A and B are shown apart, each in its own frame.
Chain A
Amino acid sequence: KAGVTQTPRYLIKTRGQQVTLSCSPISGHRSVSWYQQTPGQGLQFLFEYFSETQRNKGNFPGRFSGRQFSNSRSEMNVSTLELGDSALYLCASSLEGQFYGYTFGSGTRLTVV
């Protein structure tokens, strides 16, 4: 079966712009989580969605937002980009939550210049 698909794979944006990243989970998975990965901070939890509802969120500013659609696909949006937002953004899906472990996508590498 198809894995977790993240688009685009690479993105270059300018400071002040906004960006939308997309994630298609494994078919049947209803939980989608987003993580930011940087060399200095490691994997930082952004938020988790289940059946279109945000169940938990990490300690990120309000510029970071997300949503989940009825088909479980998810998007995250970052507005007013800053240089420090440059990172690998990883999406992970699971049947219903962390009990089953996550299946990760390959990520979107965002570079802010």
Chain B
Amino acid sequence: AQSVTQLDSQVPVFEEAPVELRCNYSSSVSVYLFWYVQYPNQGLQLLLKYLSGSTLVESINGFEAEFNKSQTSFHLRKPSVHISDTAEYFCAVSDTGGFKTIFGAGTRLFVKA
């Protein structure tokens, strides 16, 4: 079975500052890893995913995440955040053979002017 721990429930940060949202997972088998973003009153949107290959994956809006197998982590980073990045971010894990995705509890990113 897999589990996901998002280490921060809320992260306040000033606009144009860097941010890191932390995610650790637990699994006894190979996994796929995902970050999703949820804006108020909307469903989740896929931000980026790690399936295999390069451990650094990037999204189109400047976020990146690095898969670290030894530390079982998949932290999300952005070098400079905008007000519009204010949202809830979910880390998720799926085993490569199963048919369900487990989500972390979410991290609420609040970008202040």
Query: B99 touching A55 by the CB < 8 A rule?
Result: yes
- Give Cα A113 to B104, complex, Å: 29
Sorting the interface of chain A by its residue count into under 10, 10 to 19, 20 to 34 or 35 or more gives: 20 to 34
Q: Which residue of B lies closest to A109 (CB)?
A: B41
Q: Is the interface of A mostly helix, strand, loop or mixed?
A: strand
- The answer to the question of A64 belonging to the interface, with a C-beta cut-off of 8 Å to chain B, is no
Interface residue count on the B side (C-beta < 8 Å): 23
Query: B100 touching A103 by the CB < 8 A rule?
Result: no
- The answer to the question of B105 belonging to the interface, with a C-beta cut-off of 8 Å to chain A, is yes
Could you name 23 residue pairs across A and B whose Cβ atoms are closer than 8 Å? A31-B99, A35-B103, A43-B103, A45-B100, A45-B101, A45-B102, A48-B100, A50-B99, A56-B98, A56-B99, A90-B43, A92-B43, A98-B98, A98-B100, A99-B32, A101-B34, A101-B49, A102-B36, A102-B44, A102-B101, A104-B36, A104-B44, A106-B41
Question: Chain A: residues with CB nearer than 8 A to chain B?
Answer: 4, 31, 33, 35, 42-43, 45, 48, 50, 55-56, 58, 90, 92, 97-99, 101-107
